[in-house]
Amino acid sequence: MKVKTLQIVWHGKEPVYSVDFSGAACLATAGADKEIKLWQVSQGEDGYATIQHTASLSGHSKTVNCIRFSPTGRDLVSSGDGGEMLIWQPCADAQAPRGNLSAEEEEPCMKRAAVLRGHTDDIMDVGWSSDGSALVSASIDNRAIVWDMGDRKRGAMLAQLAHHKHFVQGVAWDPVRQFVVTQSADRTCRVYRLKPPAVGKKARAKAAAATAAATAKDLYCCATLSKGATRGGVKVPLFHDESLPSFFRRLAWSPDGSMLAVPAGVHRFEEGGKEGHAVHVYARDEWDAPLLHLPGHSKPVVAVRFCPVLFKKPEPSGKEDVGGQAIDLPYRMVFALVSHAHQERVDVEAGLLFFTEHADPVDVHPMQVATLDSVVIYDTASPTPLCLLGALHYDSITDLAWSGDARYLAVSSRDCYCSIAVFEPGELGEALAGGEAEWWLGGVGKPAPGSQPADAAVALPDSAVQLDQLDSVLPPGPAPAQGPEQEHARPAACPTPVLKKARRIVPEAVPCQPQPAPTVAAADQSSADDSFTFPAPPSAPPSEPPTACDPLQAARWPAQPAKRRLASADRVAEVPSSGVGRMVRKRAVSLLKRGNGASGERKAPKPKSGALRSTKVKTPVHHVAKGPPKAKHARPAPPAGPKAWTPASVVHRQAAYAMQRLLAADASGKGGASVKTLTLAPHIEAKRATHAVTCECLRHLLVIQELVEEAGLLTKFPRLSAPVAYVLVYDMLFGQPPRPIGAPERAVLSTREQLETALTAALTAAGVGTAEELVAARFPAGSAAAPASLPHPRCVRVNTLLCSVEEAVAELRDAGHTQVEPDPLLPSVLSLPPGTDLHALPGVGSGRLVLQSRASCMPAAALRPPPGAALLDACAAPGNKTTQLAALLGAGGSVLALDRDPQRAQRLQASVDCTGAGAIVAVRCADFLTLDPARHAHVQGILLDPSCSGSGTAAARADAQLPGAAARRALGEAAPRVEALAAFQEAALRHALSFPGLQRLTYSTCSVHVRENEAVVAAVLPDAEAAGMELAPALPGWHRRGIAGACPRAECLVRTGV
């Protein structure tokens, strides 16, 4: 295998967001330049991939997020921001251009055939049905839409899947056309399935011949994948929330339809353990718990793609395999996923392979998984990865695709480049011959004619079967060598995955990469939901044989676990009627009505008191019986109140949503919402305007709330929500008045006179003349959240590892920043006028300039490490002080940087790499309090900047004016959180003093509370004197010192005030 990042102009200087293959060599890419480009891929003489540009397709007015070829390779769908989705078809007389192309000469070989309109916001993912007759799209408008792709009604909307409560970021259509799965930022996956066909040969034949477009209207939500269970039985989420640092969650089905791989997963091996990133793999139609997990990734997994080629299983070597076989299938599959490439070690516990005791076997297929900056390739025949492709890109990977012959693997990235891996023939394994592959994939897309489901069915014993008994009760699959020429009946469905006996997996070296790769672990049995247990099935099998239109269900019907069946209607009431339980109850009633498959009119058994009421049915239907449920604990229906108004402006709409999230987080007291995350995320349009409106609305929030209450705005207009009212009132009184183009805008403008009267009365009562003075009057003088009277200069630090201070000053002055001056106390810090846009400065993106305030630069400067010293940064993330220490030490020194949180440690490593400090700084994800001082006796200096209340930065945070924040400020140092933080800070200081080689120690916080500063130093000072250390003056040239009387020798301490 040879992989290379092709250094060509793919999409200008814009990120590449999606990539896909048509056939064996036609590659399509799309990105933020609003274009789709087609390329011809070939293998050069050196063995690496080479490409030739063939066409550019222009039609989008905004960023293109996803492109996918139809199963036939003829049509291409592209989706982008603003709800744009286009269908492209080959031109009848177009030919791919050859030679050097220019914008004037190029003739596109595809034309726009249709425009699909239905989504109101960015479309993040699309998926075709296996027959190409339908298409499903996922959007951040919280919906997935199914579209008709037939020739007669192309572009017609067939169904809307609107069960998610947050952005829908991924979608996948089952190759057998029975399931559609969506993944959302609400930490759930929704599984939609087709209703089973009516009873009768004609009905089954009609359903078997129907296209995906014809049956799409019958999709209903049959399962919600949201929470699993740890070994302690505590329910934990299965997936990341909206804080995932990628806006794509590209899940994938295996080509035979037997497995679903879902990215963006989280996994805990034990109760109370840390969450790790993982991919959850589900067996088909087994949604209670994942079949297995793929853990060990140090960054979230954002995309998974299966290789379309099936491979032969390797011959047994006769030796005991250390890792064992992960999934037992008659063939192998390969898949790839996107993950972190720079993993220093693999946790031994992550190398344990735990299997769920499933009744159905498991499938093995090569697939690929894409994480944020590396690609890990797995094989279903082995629990360890085949290889890991790392250090390919400087920014996160966004998508990946296999060629039709499995020879090429293309990867796209936000760094504006794409990489292509080339696999030599046989390198991934020996591919199944065309007849053999078609034989095994006979159930994909259409039922296999002449199939015999009874031959493929496996009659398993009850759930008491042990793992080591599975091999004895499962019949062997047909040998691939027999092929279609033999007289065996072709299977009606793909082979079901078989889980092998649990055993310990010893971490092995992974080829094609220098570091160990993630390992595989299957799901724990305790992750199954025990609350939905149905009684055991009757001993006699159902009288109606499995239908041919659903080959997978037909093959597995006799082998269903006990909880899949009902004995009587009396048992239905045992199923909870809320959440996932309500979904299971619907499905249970559906099974009850089908009964034994007898046609004609019949009556279900009458339920007992408190059970769900059943009704007469003619031919069996698959809806819940009409009428209100009689369950004792049934959830009442939500009130049918009017829907809240939505602002017409996208800026107001986004700012109102951010305000809603911030107010909810503030009311709960748990936080979890950040202004920057909510207003500057990749999907946000007009980011600067949205961020500015949100920040200013927060700053004026206390005043706006008084005005809205005084004018009775929310009482007069019940459909006007508080966040929308706050945003519109701010813009009307203090910004740009909104136009009366929507209901909420007209409502607010109609009360303008009352609001202005209330504002005048508030100004008069406070004795001030402007709104700014009124905002300042709401805070006590000198409080942490009070607006600053005079703006401070903006500061940046020169990274002397990459350039000198003189070079940085000259570069800034050449760029027009003539007022830049070095700080007299900190020579590497440059001061610029207030209001300077620091992000636009030359040198910020390259790491020569670091965005770091003057106060943040003082602790490292106070440490004054000698050249060549060995230092330790105890709580290092995000890394500004760490890289400053590296710059002070130079090439001869060393810094050990610690942070206990894996995500913060990743950010720390990124800061070190960006500033060129990798040769000096070693990053470790570890807890400083558990570090053994005896093993680090060489450490001479420690910088300790532990967690604190952050009260000193309140004025710089936009959320300081929230009501909850004001209540916490009122408590001040009496807050329990401040006392708990101070206890932790004292413990950290005492632990730092226990290092035997320690010569200098700097302690700093960003708090104004005496309890976290002078009181902590005073409490630890006797321990320092016992260790032979004394309190030394820090930064003698600084004028503000510690509070006298709060600590012995308080004049040695520094309070920055900046």
Tokens linked to 241:
């929330």
Q: Look at strands 227-229 and 235-237 and give their pairing.
A: antiparallel
3-state secondary structure of 280: strand
- Quick check: 290 and 281 in contact, CB under 8 A? yes
Q: Is 878 annotated as a binding residue?
A: yes
Q: Could you tell me the pLDDT band of residue 958, with boundaries at 50, 70 and 90? A: low
Is 794-855 assigned to CATH 3.50.50.60? no
Residue 305 has pLDDT above 50, yes or no: yes
How far is the C-alpha of 612 from the C-alpha of 623, rounded, in Å? Answer: 13
pLDDT-based confidence at 677, cuts 50/70/90? Answer: confident
Q: How far apart are CA 58 and CA 257, in angstroms?
A: 35
pLDDT value, residue 482: 38
Q: Encode pLDDT of 852-876 as tens digits.
A: 999 999 999 999 998 889 999 999 9
Helix (H) or strand (E) holding 285: none
Do residues 1053 and 1014 make contact, with C-beta atoms less than 8 angstroms apart?
yes
Q: Is 881 annotated as a binding residue?
A: yes
Q: Is 956 annotated as a binding residue?
A: no
Across the range 103-114, mean pLDDT stands at 68
Q: What residues pair up with 69 in beta bridges, in sequence order?
A: 76
> What pLDDT score does 972 carry?
54
Q: Which residues contact 389 (CB under 8 A, 6 or more apart)?
A: 3, 341, 374, 375, 376, 377, 411, 419, 421, 512, 513
Which element (helix H / strand E) includes 110?
strand 110-115
The pLDDT, as a whole number, for residue 534 is: 30
Domain at 870-1052, CATH from 3.40.50.150, 3.40.50.720, 1.20.1250.20, 2.40.50.140: 3.40.50.150
Which amino acid, one-letter code, is at 897? Answer: A
Active site residue 1006: yes
What's the pLDDT at 765?
Answer: 86
Residue 629 has pLDDT above 50, yes or no: no
Mean pLDDT of 826-849: 88
Copy the structure tokens of residue 415.
């760094």
> 3-class SS at 1041?
strand
Mean pLDDT comparison of 29-43, 371-385, 520-534, 588-602, highest-scoring range: 29-43
| 737 annotated binding-site participant | no
User: What one-character DSSP code corresponds to residue 332?
Assistant: B
Q: Is 875 annotated as a binding residue?
A: yes
How much is the pLDDT for 475?
Answer: 33
- CATH class name, domain 2-422: mainly beta
Contact residues for 272 (Cβ-Cβ < 8 A; gap 6+): 232
Q: Extract the tokens encoding 441.
A: 């994939």
586 is in an annotated binding site: no
Query: Among 366-380, 466-480, 759-773, which range has the highest average pLDDT?
Result: 759-773
Cα distances from 469 to residues 181, 327, 472, 555, 621, in angstroms, run 33, 16, 5, 21, 38
pLDDT score at 52:
93
The C-alpha atoms of residue 947 and residue 985 are separated, in whole angstroms, by 8
Place of tokens 């008491």: 464
pLDDT of amino acid 669: 65
879 annotated to a ligand binding site: yes
Tens-place pLDDT, residues 439-470: 777 544 333 333 333 333 223 223 222 323 32
Q: What is the DSSP letter of 226?
A: -
Angle of helix 854-863 relative to helix 880-889, nearest 10 degrees, comes to 40
Question: 777: number of CA atoms within 13 Å, CB side?
Answer: 14
The DSSP annotation for 978-1029 comes to: HHHHHHHHHHHHHHHHT-TT--EEEE--S---GGGTHHHHHHHHHHHHHTT-
- Res. 115 pLDDT band, cuts 50 70 90: very high
Segment 412-448, tens digit of pLDDT: 999 899 999 999 998 998 998 877 787 777 544 333 3
One-letter amino acid at 405 equals: D
Kindly state the average pLDDT of the residues 905-915: 90
Residue whose structure tokens are 């008709």: 148
User: Can you give the three-state secondary structure of 743-780, one letter per residue?
Assistant: HHHHHHHHCHHHHHHHHHHHHHHHCCCCHHHHHHHCCC
3-state secondary structure of 399: strand
Q: Which pLDDT score, from 0 to 100, does residue 820 have?
A: 92
Q: Amino acid identity, residue 973?
A: E
Cα(995)–Cα(992) distance, rounded to whole angstroms? 6
- At 904, the amino acid letter reads R
User: Is 405 marked as a binding-site residue?
Assistant: no
Query: Is 876 annotated among the ligand-binding residues?
Result: yes
* β-strands 408-413, 418-422 pairing: antiparallel
899 is in an annotated binding site: yes
Helical (H) or strand (E) element with 370 = strand 367-372
Ranking 102-116, 264-278, 361-375, 565-579 by mean pLDDT, the lowest is 565-579
More confident residue, 62 or 515: 62
For the stretch 77-87, pLDDT in tens is 999 999 999 99
> What are the tens digits of pLDDT across the range 191-217?
999 887 766 777 777 877 888 998 888
Which amino acid is present at 70? S
Greatest extent of the chain over all pairs of C-alpha atoms, in Å: 96
Rounded CA gap, 621 and 690, in Å?
49
Tens digit of each residue's pLDDT (9 = 90 or more) over 121-162? 999 999 999 999 999 999 999 999 999 998 777 888 999 999
Collect all residues with Cβ–Cβ distance below 8 Å to 443 and sequence separation of at least 6: 176, 256, 257, 451, 491, 492, 493, 494, 551, 552
* Location of structure tokens 């006769």: 318
- Among 309-318, 896-905, 957-966, the minimum mean pLDDT is found in 957-966
Which member of 857, 1006, 1047, 1052 is catalytic? 1006
Residues forming a β-bridge with 19: 29
